[in-house]
Amino acid sequence: MTDTGRRLAAALGILTMVLLASMVVGLLTGSQHIELGRVLSDSMSRTLFFRLRLPRVLMGLAIGASLAVTGAALQALFRNPLADPYTLGVSGGGALGASAAIALGWSARVLGVPLVFAASFAGAMLAVGSVRAIARRGAVVLPGALLLSGVVVNLIAGACVLTIQYLTDPESALRILRWLIGSLDVVGLAPVGRMAMVLAPAWVALLALSRQLNLLAIDEDTAATLGVDVRRCERIVHTLCALVVGVAVSAGGAIGFVGLIVPHAVRAIFGEDLRILLPGSLLGGAAFLILADALARVALPASELPVGAVTGLMGGPLFLWLLHRQQRFSMI
């Protein structure tokens, strides 16, 4: 077996164990104590476990995996270690779409797809498109321009959300606010199942592009002369990332920095190769958000913290540290 093969096997093995362990922690953590032995016999415990605890853990898995894998893919695509759905404004665009849908009272579904999902995807796609259009004026994406345009797209989206909140009725405004803070709270398994139907195929499609993304992460011209159709690959990855982030954000709110923290941790342990980093981030992101959510539930004695606050408090400083390190290589 080659070195890459060994590292891939180690990453998949170890991170799967970590994910399983984090799921156990997530299932056992909460304001109510559940004895696992009584889940099947006691109806109260059963309801708590299957209607609340398990869906919440699965929600953390789906959203954490989505944000982390898109972070890793966007970093490779833009050759920028600071790229992530949050810093590029993709989450912000998704949040704007979802806020608009909530304010308009769109609880309906079209062809089984909730309109909040669709609006969030549209917002995320718009953000990806505009960030790219601004950053890519010429042959190369300038790293500094990319992040600046991401910041500005976030600011614009934030201003639009504020405007919507101001104009809408107080009840919708409160719903938008609660949703923006970000939460994995969910009742029953059905919503998680619906998300999985969209997310799982998109994850698989992203993983299938890991060889191309690995070549793109090295250098764009190199990738092109090694047989990668760069423009086509970019279009597909953009669309997949907007879709995955749109769905994740419409379900859990804007949870920041997961796409930054997890890929960098996986990199530090298992190396740069995107064929390891993408599946590693998928598993690691799921485990990370489940644990962050468990921490959010028990950090305060009387109530729970928003999970977005936990990831933000961890990810913000990491972003600054990465920026500091980048400056030394003067690549921004």
Q: Quick one: 129 exposed, middle or buried, by C-beta within 10 A (0-12, 13-18, 19+)? A: middle
Q: Please report the beta strands in the chain, taking only residues with DSSP state E, as ranges in sequence order.
A: 109-110, 113-114
Q: What are phi and psi of 83, to 5 degrees?
A: -75, 145
Give the one residue of 62, 73, 173, 228 binding another protein; rule: CB under 8 A: 228
SS (H, E, C) 180-249: HHCCCCCCCCHHHHHHHHHHHHHHHHHHHCHHHHHHHHHCHHHHHHCCCCHHHHHHHHHHHHHHHHHHHH
Q: How far is the CB of 218 from another protein (least distance, A)?
A: 6
Options 116-124, 209-217, 237-245, 300-308: segment touching another protein (CB under 8 A): 209-217
Give the one residue of 217, 244, 249, 283 binding another protein; rule: CB under 8 A: 217
Q: How far is the CB of 330 from another protein (least distance, A)?
A: 11
2 near another protein (CB under 8 A): yes
Q: Which is nearer to another protein, 30 or 271 (CB)?
A: 271
Q: How far is the CB of 134 from another protein (least distance, A)?
A: 18
Q: How far is the CB of 79 from another protein (least distance, A)?
A: 4
Q: Are 63 and 251 in contact (CB under 8 A)?
A: yes
8 near another protein (CB under 8 A): yes
Q: How many helices (H) and strands (E) does the chain have?
A: 14, 2
Give the C-alpha separation, 145 to 332, whole Å.
Answer: 9
201 near another protein (CB under 8 A): no
Whose tokens are 């980093």? That residue is 277
226 near another protein (CB under 8 A): yes
Give the C-alpha separation, 122 to 98, whole Å.
Answer: 9
Q: How far is the CB of 75 from another protein (least distance, A)?
A: 8
| Nearest residue to 54 (alpha-carbon basis) of 34, 93, 26, 73 | 26
Binding track, positions 128-167, relative to another protein; x by CB under 8 A? ---------------x------------------------
Give the one residue of 30, 271, 304, 318 binding another protein; rule: CB under 8 A: 271
- Identify the helix (H) or strand (E) that includes residue 170: helix 170-181
Give the one residue of 218, 236, 305, 314 binding another protein; rule: CB under 8 A: 218
Q: Which is nearer to another protein, 276 or 290 (CB)?
A: 276
Q: Are 255 and 67 in contact (CB under 8 A)?
A: yes
Options 4-12, 13-21, 103-111, 144-152: segment touching another protein (CB under 8 A): 4-12
Whose tokens are 């949050």? That residue is 86
Give the binding site for another protein (CB under 8 A): 1-5, 8, 75, 79-81, 143, 208, 211, 214-215, 217-219, 221-222, 224-229, 267, 271-273, 275, 329, 331
